[in-house]
Amino acid sequence: MSVKKEKNGVNFIILVVAISIGYAILRYQIKGDVPWKDLPVFILNKGISLAAITLLSLCISIRPLSNLGVQLFSSRQAKKVLGISGLLLTIAHVLLSFLIFNPSYFSVFFEEDGTLSSKGSLSLLAGVVGFMLVIIYHHCFGGVRAGKEKLIKIVTSKKFILGLLLLFGLHLFFMGYSNWMLPSNWQGGLPPISLISFVVVFLGLGINISGR
Ligand code: HEM
């Protein structure tokens, strides 16, 4: 890939991260009531997770998009940069989530007695399995490819990719659906990040079903 193309890929990633974090600040702090002290972890985590899911969904949609006639970041290097950025942001999301994983921040994941709720458990299970699959996917394309042919065939199969997107969708659905259908509750009239992320995953599913 030319230096210019690589720069475009990096600029695109910076734009996605900036818009995602900006939206989190706008919705939850400027329009919402989350205190500014929560910007460095709680709010940043929301922006980072939206950017992660956007970049990962785009990364696995590049080839089907090109089959459908849309050429976007079609070089191998650009795809790699998107994938690695998505993986790093997901790792940051997982670490940040663990730091503040308690009922004061995430009441939806817990029962009143402090144990995990059933929707919290299902959401986390889908998140953890999805995270494992992202790591396996990354392992296939990092470093030497020789000897990984069988695994590469599996992780690029339609079933694997749709399964991955389904897990992302379940992670988001169980944590967020109770709030999605109540626009009157949305802070500043803006949709929650879990819903926006779900729409991104849904688009990814549509592209991969029709173009892979
Ligand atoms: C070990 C695995 C994971 C854990 C423990 C985890 C944990 C969490 C938690 C606690 C939240 C709620 C955040 C909040 O409302 O502020 C969340 C939301 C989210 N997660 Fe994960 N997650 C995991 C994996 C993933 C993966 C693989 C992705 C895909 C890139 C992902 C994407 C998201 C997104 C987009 C949100 C929505 C943020 C929001 O609505 O605020 N997560 N996750």
Average pLDDT over residues 59-81: 92
Protein residue with least CA distance to atom 19, ligand 1: 49
Sign, CA dihedral 197-167-105-185, equals positive
168-188 pLDDT, tens digit per residue, is 999 999 999 999 999 999 999
Structural domain spans, the chain: 3-211
Distance 65 CA to ligand 1 centre (A): 26
Average pLDDT over residues 153-179: 97
Q: How far apart are alpha carbons 83 and 73 in whole angstroms? A: 11
* 24 and 50 Cβ atoms separated by less than 8 Å: yes
* 67 and 212 Cβ atoms separated by less than 8 Å: yes
89-146 pLDDT, tens digit per residue, is 999 999 999 999 999 999 999 999 999 999 999 999 999 999 999 999 999 987 788 8
57 close to ligand 1 (CB < 6 Angstrom): no
194 close to ligand 1 (CB < 6 Angstrom): yes
Helix (H, G, I), strand (E, B) or coil at 76: helix
Q: What percent of the chain has pLDDT over 70?
A: 97
Protein residue with least CA distance to atom 22, ligand 1: 127
What is the full DSSP assignment across 146-166?
TT-HHHHHHHTSHHHHHHHHH
Phi, psi of 145, rounded to the nearest 5 degrees? -95, -20
Evaluate if residue 5 carries a pLDDT over 50: yes
Protein residue with least CA distance to atom 9, ligand 1: 97
Burial (0-12, 13-18, 19+ Cβ within 10 Å), 19: middle
204 close to ligand 1 (CB < 6 Angstrom): no
Q: How far apart are alpha carbons 194 and 96 in whole angstroms? A: 16
Cα distances (Å, whole numbers) of residue 42 to 16, 92, 93, 117? 19, 12, 10, 20
Mutate to test the pocket of ligand 1, among 39, 100, 171, 190 (most ligand atoms within 8 A of CB): 171
124 close to ligand 1 (CB < 6 Angstrom): yes
Mutate to test the pocket of ligand 1, among 90, 93, 164, 173 (most ligand atoms within 8 A of CB): 93
Distance 194 CA to ligand 1 centre (A): 8
Q: How far apart are alpha carbons 179 and 107 in whole angstroms? A: 13
Reading the block at residue 122, the tokens are 């299902």
Evaluate if residue 147 carries a pLDDT over 90: no
Report the CATH number of the 3-211 domain: 1.20.120
Kindly state the DSSP code that residue 68 receives in the 8-state scheme. T
Which amino acid makes up residue 5? Answer: K
